[in-house]
Amino acid sequence: MGMTMTQKILARAAGLDRVEAGALIEGRLDLVLGNDITAPVAIREFEKAGLHQVFDRERIAIVLDHSTPCKDIKSAQLCAVCRDFAKAHQITHFYDVGEMGVEHALLPEKGLAAPGEVIIGADSHTCTYGALGAFSTGVGSTDMAAGMATGLAWFRVPTAIQVKLTGALGPYVSGKDLILHLIGRIGVDGALYQSLEFCGDGIASLEMDDRFTICNMAIEAGAKNGIFPVDERTLDYLKGRVERPYTPVEADPDAVYTQVIEIDLSKLRPTVALPHLPSNTRTVDEAAGKPIQQVVIGSCTNGRLKDLREAAAILRGKKVADGVRCIVIPATQQIYLDAMAEGLIADFIQAGVAVSTPTCGPCLGGHMGVLSDNEWAITTTNRNFVGRMGPTSSMVILASPAVAAASALTGVVTDPATI
């Protein structure tokens, strides 16, 4: 019986020839990640356990992205804990204000994730790096602490769902629509503790930014990880970013899947998720006309250059509707620079958009766009749970950058094809 991509990576990390789904293994870690909310908890655990040394200062990343530039005294104190630890342990990949970006956009950009690697992060959207053919998954802060000390973590080897993609995406349809469609089909627990393994000739048409978005939201279907095979596009992306050797894996032809889901990309429509679950999906036509007060385009899901290009193409030369606040947040400093060089930032500002320095900010109701009572937002983020961006009476609709931008122009949920 063959192994899936994830099983092969975990077997290698555990020093085994093969692993079976359900087995408990201890694997070597290539990278351990934390942010300004989770790293302080891990640091406290690390110190409480009397640990004095990290396993490898090159293999730990701490990114101050959630509440930075610090929004209040508490967030400033949490960041100070991270700074002190990073300095004491000479953590190579420590990203503070001015250098940081939203972690799951920043790490691939900096070449800190590569095919076949095992990455844990004290953040549920660590699954993003599966777009590069890595096994990456979110863990708790205690696991992060243990990982920082030992370079090891235990895993239960997951079963897998195979998602077979055919065709190519149509106009105004992106990776976000694909993943929302998939979550709508299988539910928020449809892939519980399983790998979502993508395959099929449709993959070739997906840009890397689409693949990052898709893997980013694997956790919203309950998946342990999402993963793409490595192809020419992946190798192109890695060129000039990753100098160390890496070894991609392929699923065995006789790998076992609990389920095979087929998606013809050419049949997908722009898709949104209504409150309060990412699985509460509708095509944009079904949701069209719903009034919104705020639009957010950014986050680890959709704050990359392709996302900003798609949004700018719709907003260029037009004005955000009266009564709508539109916020665009490039996910990293490099994306911000690239967007500026392409004139996208000017497009946004001229359209009446507020452009922010990279931060998670409004995605988790932190700052830079918290909602008020009974307000509705359409956002390119990944969660629309009760109270995610403001009080429990506020409502969040998840959408692609194209749908979000089109809605900013009209003040209601809008199909970008109609703009």
Q: List residues binding ligand SF4 (CB under 6 A).
A: 66, 102-104, 123, 125, 299-300, 360, 363-364, 381-382
Q: For residue 4, give the nearest of 253, 196, 251 by alpha carbon.
A: 251
- Backbone φ and ψ for 132, nearest 5 degrees, come out as -100, 10
Q: Which is nearer to ligand SF4, 34 or 190 (CB)?
A: 34
CB atoms within 10 A of CB 23: 15
Cβ closer to ligand SF4: 11 or 122?
122
CA distance 407 to 273: 14
List of residues 6+ apart from 110 with CB closer than 8 A: 93, 241
Report CA 94 to chain centroid distance, whole Å: 19
Nearer to ligand SF4 by Cβ, of 300 and 398: the residue is 300
Q: How far is the CB of 51 from ligand SF4 (least distance, A)?
A: 26
Based on C-alpha coordinates, what's the Rg of the chain?
20
For the bound state, the minimum distance from the C-beta of residue 11 to ligand SF4, rounded and expressed in Å, comes to: 29
In the complex, the smallest distance separating the C-beta of residue 361 from ligand SF4, rounded to whole angstroms, is 8
Nearest CB to ligand SF4, comparing residues 287 and 360 = 360
Closest CB to ligand SF4 among 186 and 360? 360
Q: In what order do the strands lie in the sheet with 194-199?
A: 225-227, 194-199, 159-166, 259-264
Closest contact distance (angstroms) between CB of 310 and ligand SF4 is 18
Question: Of 64 and 272, which CB lies nearer to ligand SF4 in the complex structure?
Answer: 64
Give the nearest distance from C-beta 146 to ligand SF4 in angstroms.
22
Instruction: Let me know: does 343 contact 365? Beta carbons within 8 Å.
Output: no
Task: Please say which residue, 10 or 106, places its beta carbon nearer to ligand SF4.
Answer: 106
Q: Please provide the size of the chain in residues.
A: 419
Say if CB 109 and CB 18 are below 8 A apart. no
Closest contact distance (angstroms) between CB of 64 and ligand SF4 is 11
Q: Kindly report the number of other CB atoms within 10 A of residue 384's CB atom.
A: 25
Give dist(CA 45, CA 36) in Å, integer: 15
Contact 149, 182 (CB under 8 A): no
Strands in 354-355's sheet, in edge-to-edge order, are 281-283, 271-273, 395-398, 376-379, 294-297, 325-328, 354-355
The least CB distance from residue 13 to ligand SF4, in Å, is 24
For ligand SF4, the closer of residues 220 and 415 by Cβ is: 220
Distance separating alpha carbons of residues 105 and 211, to the nearest angstrom: 12
The least distance separating ligand SF4 from the CB of residue 120, rounded to whole angstroms, comes to 15
